[in-house]
Amino acid sequence: MKNLYALVGRNIAYSFSRAYFAEKFQREGLADCQYVNFDIQRIEELPALIAAHPHLRGFNVTIPYKRDILPLLSSIDPVAEAIGAVNTVKITPEGLVGYNTDAYGFAESLKPLLKPQHTHALILGTGGASQAVAYVLKSLGIAYRFVSRTPHLGQFAYTDLNGSLLKKYTLIINCTPLGTFPNTEACPPLPYQHLTEAHLLYDLIYNPEKTTFLQKGAAKGAHICNGQQMLELQAEAAWGIWRQP
């Protein structure tokens, strides 16, 4: 029986993770490993799935369960605890152990892109991935504000955004699913006309390669980056965790 790994999420047929690991296993001669999707409608379905797959060694967690997974864990890595979200779980004899490799993937893919003007950032969305982004920005000394359709105290609504704010906030990170395949025409409702060459737009989405959010930024001369490298970096970090003795 093969060592099994999985992606846990909802409506995840679009995900590149399964193909990424399938290619990795073939390339590295890991014939004893397999990666599958656990596409579930409720996190409560997960324990039964785990019990039904005794050769499951670990799994990734994606939208919308990066926070919902927390009550199912027996322990959590300090970084993931500080972030408040988990995207990687290792199965041990003592139970499920949660980690966050999103932060590592985001940090290592972002740092080479930063310029001196990128001192203030807008984080679009308030889900689990956005918490990892905020953790990284704080560690890099970049001030940030969340932008939400239903903002809490200290957060911006999309209707708050204007030319004056965008002049200050030159780093914009999309942590929402807006623009993900197949709904590629969607994008966060920003005043894109105020973007300039000073801006860096980073989209955690990697399918399609260039979302409408990134296309609109590029049209104004902004530097852009999608989530492909972040995906690969976090996946390799997850693999390292799963393979630890």
The tens place of each residue's pLDDT in the chain, 245 residues long, gives 789 999 999 999 888 899 999 999 999 999 999 999 999 999 999 999 999 999 999 999 998 999 999 999 999 999 999 999 999 999 999 999 999 999 999 999 999 999 999 999 999 999 888 999 999 999 999 999 999 999 999 999 999 999 999 999 999 999 999 999 889 999 999 999 999 999 999 999 999 999 999 999 999 999 999 999 999 999 999 999 999 98
Q: What pLDDT is attached to residue 186?
A: 98
Q: Is residue 111 among the annotated active site residues?
A: no
Q: What is the pTM of this model?
A: 0.92
How many other C-beta atoms lie within 10 A of the C-beta of residue 59? 29
The answer to whether 136 touches 106, Cβ cutoff 8 Å, is: yes
Q: What is the pLDDT of residue 141?
A: 98
CB-based contact 232:20 (threshold 8 Å): yes
Residue 95: beta bridge partners? 92
Active-site annotation holder among 2, 24, 66, 216: 66
